[in-house]
Amino acid sequence: MTIREQTEQSELQTLSQGAAKACLSRGRDLEEPQCELRTVYQRDRDRILHCNSFRRLMNKTQMLLSPQGDHYRTRLTHTLEVSQIARTIARGLRLNEDLTEAIALGHDLGHTPFGHAGERALNEVCSFGYRHYEQSVRVVEKLEKEGRGLNLTYEVRNGIACHTTGHSADTLEGQTVRVADKIAYLNHDIDDAIRAGILSEENIPWEVHVHLGNSKTQRITSLVTSVVHNSIDFITMDKTTDDTFNLLRTYMFATVYVDPVAKGEESKAEQLVKTLFDYYLKKPECLPEAYKMIVERDGLERAVCDYISGMSDRYATAVYDDIFIPKPWQVTPYD
């Protein structure tokens, strides 16, 4: 038996009945030889980890727009925190940790520059709308590897597509990432808001302190523990924990996520994205060569959307400056 086959046999013997087993995967769109060492889900995780879109997440906004400080979250650190929380839940429920990690690492690959401000902007200007979870799937299917895509398994792509709204994922691992994403962003957004002076621990509703705890660590532990103790056929929490979690989410959307300090620059970011979108629609010849190929295959608007959504915050700003900001006159000696 190869090492991969030994791992597959171990999954059949040790994972829970509802867990996704690598040897039972619905497979890839394009069949390819199996790896001697890694299962299909391990290969998917590695492909995501090594792709260009994953690396760009380190310079994409999470909550605070391009924060000046080493300890604020970016889209990349958010992704890693989601992965850690999801893996803890998967381990507690004896689910497939490799599949869970692959979905978590890929769930935000389609996020825009400037976080949800960029997403709102593209959703307004694109005739087909814009949803980052759909773009994440497009990234792994159509855009990575010079248009060839990563050829991921069905289960990973399904988990990415269903990580935020709409239908639940077909696997418990995908459902796990969905709840882990919410646990992660609410708690680390609180942490960042406190660090930025927007929020204090005392401002958080007292019910949250009573039922979930008085710190980020206590809250995450309470939420994860509830998920592990209450999930069997689907991923869920007990009612009290779920109600308190929803109360905390409502509080954050009513305060921090509309705070003028935290969100004061977002209108500028939205305008920047819209301006770039309009510019490339009018001047498609200025698109990079790789995106001109997408124009031929999927149309101009789709190509412009792909290009802008893949930009990091600083790259989008640099492109905007290069196009629209006048350059200083270069004075030569003796002029």
- Between CA 127 and CA 222 the distance in angstroms is 42
Q: Which domain holds residue 269?
A: 37-324
Nearest of 323, 288, 333, 326 to residue 307 by alpha carbon:
288
331 domain-assigned: no
Which spans in the chain are helix H? 3-14, 40-49, 52-56, 75-93, 97-106, 115-125, 132-138, 154-161, 172-195, 206-211, 216-230, 239-254, 260-263, 266-282, 289-298, 300-309, 313-324
The answer to whether 107 and 181 have CB atoms below 8 angstroms apart is yes
30 domain-assigned: no
Tally of domains within the chain: 1
307 domain-assigned: yes
- For the chain, 335 residues long, the average pLDDT of each consecutive 10-residue run is 97 98 98 97 98 96 70 91 98 98 98 94 97 97 96 98 91 98 95 90 95 96 98 97 97 87 82 98 96 95 98 96 87 67
13 domain-assigned: no
Nearest of 334, 272, 255 to residue 308 by alpha carbon:
272
Distance of CA 63 to CAs 77, 203, 215, Å? Answer: 12, 19, 19
pLDDT score for 328: 80
11 domain-assigned: no
243 domain-assigned: yes
User: Could you identify the residue written with the tokens 């999801």?
Assistant: 86
Which token pair is 134? 């759909």
- Between CA 292 and CA 191 the distance in angstroms is 42
10 Å CB burial of residue 217 (0-12, 13-18, 19+) is: exposed
16 domain-assigned: no
63 domain-assigned: yes
pLDDT score for 68: 63
Q: Domain of 68: which CATH number?
A: 1.10.3210.10
